[in-house]
Amino acid sequence: MSKKRGLSFSELASLLEELEGISSNISLRDKLAEFFKGKKGKIIKYSSYFILGRVGPKYEDINLGFGNKTMIKIIAGAFDEKEDKVKKIFDKKGDLGDTAEKLNKRKRSSLMLEDVYKKLHKIKDISGRGSQEKRAEEFSELMKKAKGKEAKYIVRIALEKMRLGVGEMTVLEAFAKAFTDDIENKKKIEKSFNVCTDIGELGESLSKHGLKGAKRFSITIGRPVEAMLAQRVKKVSDILEKIKGDKIAAEEKYDGERVQIHKDGNDIKLFSRRLEDITHQFPDLVEYVKDYVKSKKVVLDGEIIAYKKGKILSFQKLMQRRRKYDVKEYRKKIPVVVFLFDILYLNGKSLLKKPYPERRKKLENAVDKKSKKIRLAKRKVSKKFDVIKKFFKKSIDKGLEGIIVKSTAKDSVYQPGNRGWLWIKWKKEYSEGMKEAIDAVVVGSFHGKGKRKGGFGALLCAVFNKDKDRFETFTKVGTGFTDNDFKVIGKKLKKIETGNRPKRLKVKKNMKPDIYYKPKLVIEIIGAEITRSPSHTAAEKNGKGLALRFPRFQRVREDKAPDDATTIKEIKQLKK
């Protein structure tokens, strides 16, 4: 390793290869920590992205634009092979990284980690006419310099298919071990990650300053923080017990897509709940922000709703706006408005530590109140709980989902990524005695019979164990699907099929599905009760996991990432 130029890419590739052969989460973490230890700065930054199969932080749109077809062409060109042969090997291996490795005969390479990072960024930045070809050319050049093992991982990074079974939480824990010598510090590091959502930056800082490096981050424009979340209660009277402050504030709860708006003059960016950059999907919203948000530099939090002729349209309709193409047409077809409920940053200052009443006042001053497109969440503030109950009823009568009760106490700060008691949701379903909906990740399916032949009969669903950074099965759902749901979900599942059990999934032998899926698709299900079952692995104790009985499919939650699925911690709370 030359000191001046950092780490060879081959060293990282060796690590990736080792990680691929490990299935235990603890061993993955330890191996990662061993690699991180003693390394510093950009090496940590670049390798953290690559280990997670990305070229940069999750909120940056860093798609290199290569599909399988293009990649086959590139591999064929780079290694002087016929496309047919590449395709054949790909069909057999099922992975283009493995295919590239097989065809690459080079024994030596002088690629450095930094070279690969910079080259991939250079490729990403190519735009305009003929950019597809130019990108492919540059990528091919990179491949020609790589040896087999390196080519394999470069292809996987470019396709965002790393397949190591390493999630963000495992990387954070490895940071804790490597840079603070104490795994227990993971919680503190995670808290910091909720503010600085760039894992590379965070890793770099920790590698230089130890645990102190976790405290250096605050909210800045252009880098989204994790969204603050709401707790749930079983009985409405529990709200009173949990909420602090001499007054209670309740806001209408809108059922749309969470959005974090970053405005820096005329430069506007929109981030989803999963922190994806969704600016290009909502050119209308960008205009509204320019027109009706008065503050120059500001970060706002709110909910996008599909809204036409004075009526709120369904969540499903809104989801049709999640698209790369025909954006203009859909802008007309499905117009949107946004309901703002928080402000996180204003003209150079973070507001995260300010109490809610102060933030709300600042929010009210930040927008043009006459606007019908940028609205404020409607709310009621009162000392009397009866008034809040009435407000809830009125919200339901209006066709809304429910309310979010918000603490007005001194400590009612904005907690990025946290589901605490400062916000409590109260939904219609609770008052009707139905259980709260669960957001579960589809990890497998069982073949359908009769009318459902050829498709799935039931879906195996998992919840997220954040501590262990893995998915644990919780229920098998076969009801609640319309014919259209079967079609739409079937199509989505086809794309994420995988031959083997995904590494981050824990499943019982007696629940082995006919087909496994990569944990990507999140669906909402409701159920009657949570019990212990020998067939599931969620929060397993004495061979029995928690399981949802009589589950019923509600809808696909495209706005949620698998790591946003309901967690084991929440399930345990619901069981109480």
What are the residue ranges of helices labelled H in 196-282? 199-209, 236-242
548 is a contact residue toward ligand AMP (CB under 6 A): no
Residue 268 pairs in a beta bridge with: 263
For ligand AMP, give the closer residue by CB, 100 or 376: 376
Closest approach, Cβ 380 to ligand AMP, in A, equals 12
Q: State the number of binding residues for ligand AMP (CB under 6 A).
A: 12
Stretch binding ligand AMP (CB under 6 A), from 182-190, 248-256, 483-491, 500-508: 248-256
Say how far apart CA 452 and CA 483 lie, in whole Å: 9
- For residues 293 and 374, the answer to whether their CB atoms sit within 8 Å is yes
Closest approach, Cβ 172 to ligand AMP, in A, equals 22
Q: Which of 58, 149, 258, 506 binds ligand AMP (CB under 6 A)?
A: 258
Say how far apart CA 562 and CA 167 lie, in whole Å: 11
163 is a contact residue toward ligand AMP (CB under 6 A): no
425 is a contact residue toward ligand AMP (CB under 6 A): yes
The single residue of 39, 145, 186, 253 carrying the catalytic annotation is 253
251 is a contact residue toward ligand AMP (CB under 6 A): yes
Closest approach, Cβ 389 to ligand AMP, in A, equals 17
Residue 307 pairs in a beta bridge with: 312
Output the CA angle 77-80-81, nearest 5 degrees.
Answer: 95
Closest approach, Cβ 465 to ligand AMP, in A, equals 18
Say how far apart CA 172 and CA 202 lie, in whole Å: 9
Closest approach, Cβ 340 to ligand AMP, in A, equals 9
- For residues 219 and 299, the answer to whether their CB atoms sit within 8 Å is yes
User: Quick one: tokens of 8?
Assistant: 């060879």
Catalytic annotation present for 253: yes
> Contact letters (x/-) for ligand AMP, 277-316, by CB under 6 A?
--------------------------x-------------
Exposed (0-12), middle (13-18) or buried (19+): which is 140, by Cβ within 10 Å?
A: middle
For ligand AMP, give the closer residue by CB, 230 or 396: 230
Closest approach, Cβ 73 to ligand AMP, in A, equals 42
> Contact letters (x/-) for ligand AMP, 193-232, by CB under 6 A?
----------------------------------x-xx--
DSSP state of 373: S
- Binding to ligand AMP in span 377-406, by CB under 6 A: 377, 404
Say how far apart CA 536 and CA 515 lie, in whole Å: 17
Using only the alpha carbons of the chain, give its radius of gyration: 25
249 is a contact residue toward ligand AMP (CB under 6 A): no
- For residues 545 and 503, the answer to whether their CB atoms sit within 8 Å is no
Stretch binding ligand AMP (CB under 6 A), from 167-175, 197-205, 252-260, 285-293: 252-260
Total Cβ atoms within 10 A of residue 132:
12
Say how far apart CA 516 and CA 497 lie, in whole Å: 6
| Chain residues that interact with ligand AMP, rule: CB under 6 A | 227, 229-230, 251, 253-254, 258, 303, 341, 377, 404, 425
Which residues are tagged catalytic?
A: 253
